[in-house]
Structure 1
Amino acid sequence: MEERNSPRPQISQQPPPWTGVLIIGLMIAGFYFLIPGFGGQQHLSSPHWLKRSWNEENDFEHGILVPIICFALLAWKWGTLRTLASKVTAPQKSQWVGLIIAVLGSLFFVLAYRTGQARLAIGGLPMILWGSTWFLWGWPIARLTFFPLFLLWLAIPVPQFQHATYKLQMLSTKLAEIGCGWLGVETEVRGTQIFSVDSKWEPLKIDEGCGGIRSLMALILISSVWAYLAKMPLWKKLVLMLSAFPLAIIGNMFRLTSIFVIAEYGDPDFAKDTWHDWSGLVIFYPISLLLLLAVHSILEGGIPKLRKLKQTTVTVTEPTTTSNT
């Protein structure tokens, strides 16, 4: 009898990635936690420098939330990531692109160490993590981890945003004056100070924080995550994310206007102290998030209830009449 050649099961040629994970983990630990060289006296590691930069002076107190959100997004996708990782077989040619990206991120750290620029070091970390993920597990997993990992860039204080603070202060001052005029509060603007025409309250200054840079950066973070979770085309996600810029300005206008209105018609001391500290939570975020929801609804085709009404069609059938001939 002739033996039938039965097809042999294909054995995966992909080695377990844990060796690569261990090597990359040790490299990241050495680069980012064991090597000082940043800060004023070059005695800080780059994560330590980043933690110290999340302060009121930089208007970046929300920075500590970014790594937490990144971790939460990865945990949310963990089941899908494990399923995709279990299906990895032989390495693909495209996975070597991931290694190139990881090496590029490492070069960012080397350049940061030579120049003392911790921002470059932190900026290279997502490239190392994402490139390594692509190299070890392939594009399907790299595609899902791209946003959660590169969201870390929003944790880095950017000097250019700080330089734009003054222009934002001037814009916020002008918009607050307009808002006060709508509500019958007569004001006079001198630089970034707003005076009461009737001298009912002491002049109030729109400083760097009140200018909206803090709220802008926080809303950019919120809109980025919102756009990532939204089920819509990429261009609509970008529009939703970028809408944070005008919406933050509008929300801050209402917040500042409320301070001057309370100072005019209520207690000036309460307005400039207690209400000033709480108006962000009470006024800015509710208004900004409602506006962001409105933009989302428009991009999806309208407000949900109205969209359902549009989709509901009523068919009217007219009775047919037959004529006798």
Structure 2
Amino acid sequence: MMDSSNPAAHEKFLTAPMLAALVSGGLLLAWPYLAIAEFGPGGSQNGFQWLFSAWNPETDYEHGWLVIPIIAFMLYHARHCIIRAPKRIDWRGLLLFVPACILLMLSFRVGQPRVAMGALPLILLGGAWYLAGPQTARICAFPLLFFWLCIPLPSFQQATVELQIIATQFGHLGGSLFGVDTYLQGTNIRSTEGHWDAFNIAGGCSGMRSLMALIMLSAAWAYLSDLKFWKKCVLFLSAIPLAVIGNGVRIASIVVMAEYGDARFAAKTWHDWSGLLFFFPICLLGLACVHSLLAGEMIWNPFRRKKVVVKMNKAQ
């Protein structure tokens, strides 16, 4: 095992044969994902082309492009731990690497691009485990597996109808708090006095798209926090109720705007921009509040940094 405290040990690990193995391995991995077109309409897309085309409103995964820079940031954030981790060849990494490669080959046989893209982080993680050892693999595990959050899964869309009903109820109840008389017909919110045309809470307004984006952000937030594991889980799961509440407030604001303002403006402009004005501020503030409760102090406390510095000085 290599001494992690000795910089020369890391230089010795990155020998010419090791660099050659990394480069050749990267090229071999790029070939099935970039050169082989077996997916999409008529088998005209490679794995990444299919993935990029799947980040669209129909799949509710428009946030998918954010996953790549977040992964890069998480790996950059953990760079010192990765550098200090002892490096050694560990054959146990092949127990993950080989089955993941088999999954990749099977994905071309059955024409399932989700299987191919889902195998990618497992291949990278198994390779890191084999080439650099278990500690490096453990550090890289979450950032690499985070990639799964950008792969569209149809099963998530099955909850759209339930979320539509919840959003409709929120719009009705939220409007009543501000004196707006409405009644519901399925997923339609109608004015009792007929002041404006019915608002249909369609699939795009259900909040599924926003929920998936917030789950992605809360997962990265929980990973980067210094909380205990169970508290990280609570912070991550809090994204679900926060997304429902944030979308409900947004729908209610559209109803109130239509009643007391301009119905046409509410249905068009306000509908398009209320997410930025209500949903994301409410959800991000909610995540900050949950984090503060779990940490026992405000995470935006300006004196927090001073306390950390004082503790470090006392320790020295």
Instruction: Tell me the residue number matched to 2:39.
Output: 38
Cα deviation for residue 291 of structure 1 reads: 0.9
In 2, Cα distance between equivalents of 1:248 and 1:193 = 21
1:180-219 matches, cutoff 5 A: 180-219=175-214
Matched, 1:21 2:22: yes
Cα deviation for residue 96 of structure 1 reads: 2.0
1:295-310 matches, cutoff 5 A: 295-303=290-298
Do the aligned partners of 2:246 and 2:279 also contact (CA within 8 Å) in 1?
yes
Do the aligned partners of 1:297 and 1:303 also contact (CA within 8 Å) in 2?
yes
Instruction: Tell me the residue number matched to 2:91.
Output: 96
TM-score of the superposition, structure 1-length normalised?
0.85
In 2, Cα distance between equivalents of 1:267 and 1:128 = 54
Matched, 1:179 2:174: yes
Instruction: Tell me the residue number matched to 2:148.
Output: 153
Cα deviation for residue 221 of structure 1 reads: 0.7
1:48-197 matches, cutoff 5 A: 48-84=49-85, 87-88=86-87, 90-91=88-89, 95-197=90-192
Instruction: Tell me the residue number matched to 2:231.
Output: 236
Distance 1:183 1:230, change over 3 A: same
In 1, Cα distance between equivalents of 2:285 and 2:96 = 39
Do the aligned partners of 1:179 and 1:254 also contact (CA within 8 Å) in 2?
yes
Matched, 1:249 2:250: no
Q: How many residues are aligned here?
A: 292
In 1, Cα distance between equivalents of 2:25 and 2:93 = 13
Cα deviation for residue 19 of structure 1 reads: 3.4
Among 218, 233, 238, the alignment partner of 1:223 is: 218
Cα deviation for residue 78 of structure 1 reads: 2.8
1:243-322 matches, cutoff 5 A: 243-303=238-298
Q: CA RMSD in A?
A: 2.1
TM-score of the superposition, structure 2-length normalised?
0.87
Cα deviation for residue 40 of structure 1 reads: 2.3
Higher mean alpha-carbon deviation, 205-214 vs 136-145, is at 136-145
Do the aligned partners of 1:20 and 1:136 also contact (CA within 8 Å) in 2?
no
In 2, Cα distance between equivalents of 1:192 and 1:141 = 50
Higher relative contact order (CA 8 A, sep 6+): 2
Structure with max Cα Rg: 1
DSSP 3-state at the match of 1:166: helix
**Deviation string for 1:206-225 (max 9, x for gaps)?**
11111001110010011001
Distance 1:14 1:198, change over 3 A: closer
Percent of counterpart pairs with the same letter?
Answer: 43
Show structure 1 runs of 5+ residues with no match. 1-9, 309-325
In 2, Cα distance between equivalents of 1:17 and 1:180 = 64
Distance 1:29 1:283, change over 3 A: same
DSSP 3-state at the match of 1:194: strand
Cα deviation for residue 26 of structure 1 reads: 2.1
**Deviation string for 1:14-71 (max 9, x for gaps)?**
9752233133212211110111111121121011000000012212111111112112
Cα deviation for residue 302 of structure 1 reads: 4.9
Instruction: Tell me the residue number matched to 1:321.
Output: none
Do the aligned partners of 1:99 and 1:132 also contact (CA within 8 Å) in 2?
yes
**Letter matched to residue 228 of structure 1:** Y
Higher mean alpha-carbon deviation, 21-30 vs 45-54, is at 21-30
Cα deviation for residue 178 of structure 1 reads: 1.4
Show structure 2 runs of 5+ residues with no match. 1-8, 305-316
In 2, Cα distance between equivalents of 1:44 and 1:271 = 40
In 2, Cα distance between equivalents of 1:13 and 1:249 = 49
Richer in helix (by share) = 2
**Letter matched to residue 244 of structure 1:** A
